[in-house]
Amino acid sequence: MTVRAGFALCLVAVTLVVGCAGDDQGAPGDQGTQDSSGAVGPAPVIVATTSILGDVTANIVGDAGRVEILIPAGVDPHDFQLSASEGERLRGADLVIANGLGLEESLDDVIGQLESEGTEVVLAGDALTGLVSIDGVGDPHFWQDPLLMHQAVTTIADKLAVIDPDRADGYRARAQAYSAELDTVHREVSALYASIPSAERLLVTTHAAFGALAQRYGFEIVGVVIPGGSTLASANAGSLADLVEVIEDRGVRAIFGESLGSTELAATVADEVGRDVEIVELYSDALGEPPSSAATYLGLVRANAELIVAALTRP
């Protein structure tokens, strides 16, 4: 990576509310710079695959290194295709942080190859306990539960401490502070969700991206528009007819679409139901773009809770 390209990426990262180590920050292998912890050594370049993991990682890294995001806010990670230059960015990283669990479907082979070539990789979803499953496999959308994200933060901080031991204390301290924020946001949204009567805690969503949220906060997923845990599957007429029926039978009040994709199918389903069903867009697999309140991960968790509570408690 050239210094110029590094600087350009750094500017992109700044607009994504991700920290940069400083103006003199160059590519990996450059002369070390001194960060606020006083450690001297080459500042690591970390590439996170998703905007969600990028924001979380930036909170752990602080000014000790540079965090870049591969799949920007507003882009569907299931459907992402890696370009040759993006492949080089991954290869040049000191650490790659991926979601795993099949989220970045097109990256599975590339990530395996990077690991075999010696690039340090964290698969954030791999070490989690208490993951829900979709059709017998782990649900990749663990971030919809901030307490599962808390576990992932520990995994990421531990790895950073191993690859950059001079700054280990800083990574651990920032991870601890951020985890406290995750616990706080969990308590906040728990209190919000408690205002929904238990019989009304029903979710119909575009794809099966909210299983972790449902498990943590006591919702029942009564149906999905696109079957399975990926946006790449397609709906069929039979399953949509079944969905209309279950929405009618269970008195479902809203269909939760997604900020990333089209809500056209959800609207078609809603039209078939013999009463008003609201379509509400949630933040599923990527951060919202600024100035959206979901432009940070903590903001995303709060925004989804507010949207769900508003839709399911409307008189």
Q: Which residues bind Zn ion (CB under 5 A)?
A: 209, 285
d(CA 22, CA 117): 29
CB of 231 to Zn ion, least distance (A): 6
Give the CA angle between residues 266, 272, 278 to the nearest 5°: 50
Strand 66-71 versus strand 45-50 pairing type: parallel
Which residue, 164 or 285, has its beta carbon nearer to Zn ion? Answer: 285
**Which one, 95 or 287, has the nearer CB to Zn ion?**
287
Contact 171, 157 (CB under 8 A): yes
Tokens 């017998």 belong to: 136
Nearest to 245 by CA among 228, 221, 222, 211: 222
Q: Give the whole-angstrom CA distance, residue 45 versus residue 92.
A: 8
- What's the min distance (Å) between Cβ of 50 and Zn ion? 10
Tell me the closest approach of the beta carbon of residue 265 to Zn ion, in angstroms: 15
CA distance 263 to 211: 19
Name which of 52 and 202 has its Cβ closer to Zn ion: 52
Query: In degrees to the nearest 10, what's the CA dihedral of 232, 82, 53, 35?
Result: -170
Residue 256 CB, shortest distance to Zn ion, in Å, is: 13
Measured from the CB atom, is 61 or 209 closer to Zn ion? 209
Least separation in angstroms between CB 272 and Zn ion: 24
Q: How far is the CB of 88 from Zn ion (least distance, A)?
A: 27
Residues 225/204, Cβ–Cβ less than 8 Å: yes
The separation between CA 91 and the C-alpha centre of its own chain, rounded to angstroms, equals 22
Smaller CB distance to Zn ion: residue 209 or 298?
A: 209
Task: Write the DSSP symbol of residue 121.
Answer: E
How many secondary structure helices (H) and strands (E) does the chain include? 10, 12
Helix (H, G, I), strand (E, B) or coil at 87: helix
Beta bridge pairs of residue 68: 47
Nearer to Zn ion, 9 or 128 (CB): 128
Least Cβ distance, residue 263 to Zn ion (angstroms):
15
Nearer to Zn ion, 189 or 282 (CB): 282
